[in-house]
Amino acid sequence: MPTALALSEPSLPAAGDATQSHAPRPGLLRLRLAMTEESEMRQPAVYIMASQRNGTLYTGVTSDLPRRAYEHREGLIPGFTSRYGCKLLVWYEGYEVMVDAIAREKQIKGGSRKKKLALIEMLNPQWHDLYERLE
């Protein structure tokens, strides 16, 4: 998980202290804090959506799995999953950083259908929709 930035209040120069350089602007501190909070909410993940058990599969990567799975389920974004009815979240893995998630997505997409089915069967043998289990 991303490490929070250590923010401290800027110290004010002592009266007559001309050696103090410009203190950080409060707006910049708020911006850094907001960026930290936003990055802490993101959880990179690789996932597989399916149309049904042993049906059409779609492998993707996202920084917000609940939102992205909802978009697939509701057909909100035109494309492969809406065209082929891939609405079931049947497998996912979370990652600390997006670079690792993207590398894993490429590995899975480069593998055979048989390997994708084995991933799903190993962790979700009943092919339950895992969307409801997301936080």
According to the model, what pLDDT value does residue 26 have? 53
Nearest to 44 by CA among 63, 68, 21, 69: 63
Tokens of 45: 């993940």
Q: Which structural domains are found in the chain, ordered by start?
A: 45-133 (3.40.1440.10)
Task: Give the pLDDT confidence score for residue 36 in this predicted structure.
Answer: 44
Residues present in the chain in total: 135
State phi, psi for 92 to the nearest 5 degrees: -160, 160
**Contact call for residues 87 and 49 (beta carbons, < 8 A):** yes
Nearest to 93 by CA among 108, 79, 80: 108
If one counts every other C-beta atom within 10 angstroms of the C-beta of residue 111, the result is 13
| DSSP 8-state symbol, 78 | -
pLDDT by residue, tens only, the chain of 135 residues: 333 323 333 334 444 444 444 444 454 444 444 444 444 557 999 999 999 999 999 999 999 999 999 999 999 989 999 999 999 999 999 999 999 999 999 999 999 999 999 999 999 999 999 999 986
